[in-house]
Amino acid sequence: MKVDAVPRPPAIELIGIDKRFGRVHANNNVNLKVERGLIHGIVGENGAGKSTLMSILYGFYEADSGEIRVNGEPVRIRSSREAISHGIGMVHQHFMLVQPLTVLENVMLGAEGGPLLAAGASEIRAKLAHLGREYGLEVDPDAVVGELSVGLQQRVEILKALVRGAEILVLDEPTAVLTPAEADQLFEMLKVLKSQDKTVIFITHKLREIMRLTDRVSVMRLGEMVADFETAKTSPPELADAMVGRKVILRVEKGQAHPGEIALEARDLVVKDDRGVTRVDGMSFVLRRGEIVGIAGVAGNGQSELLEALAGIRPLAGGEILVEGRVPPPELRTPKGMRKLGVFHVPEDRHRMGLVMPFQACESAMLGFHDDDVYGAGILFDRRAIAADTAEKMEHFDVRPRAPLLKTANFSGGNQQKIVLAREIERNPHVMLVGQPTRGVDIGAIEFIHKRIVALRDAGKAVLLVSVELDEIMALSDRILVVCGGRITGERLPETCNQQDLGLLMAGVSEREHAA
């Protein structure tokens, strides 16, 4: 007759988790409490440390320090096997499935139930049938996984965890690869799991999904856990604020812009990523000479793909790009061709696309322009001319040390970025596409880089700026386009908007809802 009133311990408790990869502090003293039987969301931008945290929970990495408690008991999780034995199941962003094997074989892998497959197979078959009925997770056990749709493959991943007796299910960006209909199905499935007292940890950077699905939500930024809300008591703007963070407002000295004629125009652009997922979904805008247009948005909402498409790196799946009012012929839709048309590009990730780290600075400073006669006509390079040219650029951009022969990797982040900027800007572009110009750059260099971008504008060039730093966007832009889910959700002038306003648009709240 006495009701059991003892509060249940949280399913998962992470206390003071710390993890470094070399110089990167991926998780900085992270605390997290996940109650049982709830759907708990973790949001944060790409690179905020969400996946690292979950990999620690799943035993993929070991934390440098900190404690993990499962159902109140302190545990050590040093391998996936130990995580599984504590009832933790993980659905990875990139599925951990063996494509040529059947569903049954994939589910059995690691839980075969004996040295011969036949014995365990019938047991797993029965379990699959049972789970299929109970949770609406039907899959043909004899189907070859590689032939299933992405949604069904994800279902197999979930089944793998449940067959192993998972009580706590971690899903890492599960909707990134799904169609909206498949995502809806997934949400229904997760709600059924919740009703069966399973705990779900749901990682995403999409606020819409958090609001729709979760009971609680924790926010990560730059490796730290910065906020924790009851979903019903928070709002997308509040979450967006917490995700993006407020920093000291940057001041950039700049005069009035004098926009001229249209330099670049995008009409109904559609761009897909390497996996065929549509990332830019019908964007249209114009970019004029003498203005800086900032693209604001939470990372991963199509900005990267937009930049790559404009620069000629990524093909268009739809729409068209006009340079100086004309559609470039297909043979010029390459990075080299677009440069010939005056469209230059500072890539978002200088390590991956902008520089070759083991190269000398002068070699990195001529990437993409190596056919230029300045560096020597014929088949041989004029090493002296290359070094002299780089020395001059280093002088103009205050690259320290001024050592054209030093290895690129030996420069600091800010100076590496200056090398990239110098390479592109010194070529006198008509249109400059700039991605994350100050990511991982120290304060002094930030100021310098901002000044150069403004100077470029004042020289009558068109600048498209993509940055996840809202302050940077607000300080530099003459116009701001906000993107969410591959669409432009609004356009603002920096003088007449505030961060809340932009935050709403970044969270995908459309203009009409916004007004209401």
Q: How far is the CB of 112 from other proteins (least distance, A)?
A: 4
Q: How far is the CB of 160 from other proteins (least distance, A)?
A: 8
Q: How far is the CB of 318 from other proteins (least distance, A)?
A: 31
Instruction: Assign 493 to helix, strand or coil.
Output: coil
Q: Among residues 384, 476, 372, which one has the least CA distance to residue 423?
A: 372
Closer to other proteins by Cβ: residue 20 or 246? 20
Q: How far is the CB of 120 from other proteins (least distance, A)?
A: 8
Give the residue carrying structure tokens 């432009």.
488
Asked if residue 151 lies in contact with residue 179, where contact means CB atoms within 8 angstroms, the answer is yes
Spatial CB neighbours of 496, under 8 Å, sequence gap ≥ 6: none
CA distance 469 to 477: 12
Closer to other proteins by Cβ: residue 162 or 454? 162
CA distance 425 to 465: 14
Closer to other proteins by Cβ: residue 54 or 190? 54
Q: Using CB atoms within 10 Å of the CB of residue 76, give its burial: 0 to 12 exposed, 13 to 18 middle, 19+ buried.
A: exposed
Q: What is the dihedral of CA 307, 312, 314, 316, to 10 degrees?
A: 100
Q: Provide the phi-psi class of 392: left if phi over 0, else alpha when psi is between -120 and 50, else beta.
A: alpha
Q: How far is the CB of 119 from other proteins (least distance, A)?
A: 10
Q: Among residues 158, 123, 157, 128, which one has the least CA distance to residue 140?
A: 128
CA distance 135 to 84: 20
Q: How far is the CB of 105 from other proteins (least distance, A)?
A: 6
Closer to other proteins by Cβ: residue 18 or 426? 18
Closer to other proteins by Cβ: residue 153 or 408? 153
Closer to other proteins by Cβ: residue 79 or 498? 79
Spatial CB neighbours of 20, under 8 Å, sequence gap ≥ 6: 26, 64
Closer to other proteins by Cβ: residue 121 or 482? 121
CA distance 268 to 114: 57
Which residues bind to other proteins, rule: CB under 8 A?
A: 21, 58, 60, 79-84, 90, 92, 94, 96-101, 105-106, 108-112, 114-118, 120, 160
Q: How far is the CB of 329 from other proteins (least distance, A)?
A: 34
Q: Among residues 92, 159, 157, which one has the least CA distance to residue 124?
A: 159
DSSP 404: T
Q: How far is the CB of 359 from other proteins (least distance, A)?
A: 22
Q: Among residues 69, 80, 81, which one has the least CA distance to residue 31?
A: 69
Closer to other proteins by Cβ: residue 21 or 381? 21
Q: How far is the CB of 421 from other proteins (least distance, A)?
A: 28
Q: How far is the CB of 128 from other proteins (least distance, A)?
A: 16
Structure tokens at 60: 């993929």
How many other CB atoms are found less than 10 A from the CB of residue 32?
A: 20
DSSP 232: G
Q: Is the dihedral of CA 123, 124, 130, 133 positive or negative?
A: negative
CA distance 117 to 110: 11
DSSP 215: S
CA Rg value for the chain? 26
Closer to other proteins by Cβ: residue 77 or 296? 77
Closer to other proteins by Cβ: residue 49 or 508? 49
Closer to other proteins by Cβ: residue 118 or 516? 118
Q: How far is the CB of 95 from other proteins (least distance, A)?
A: 8
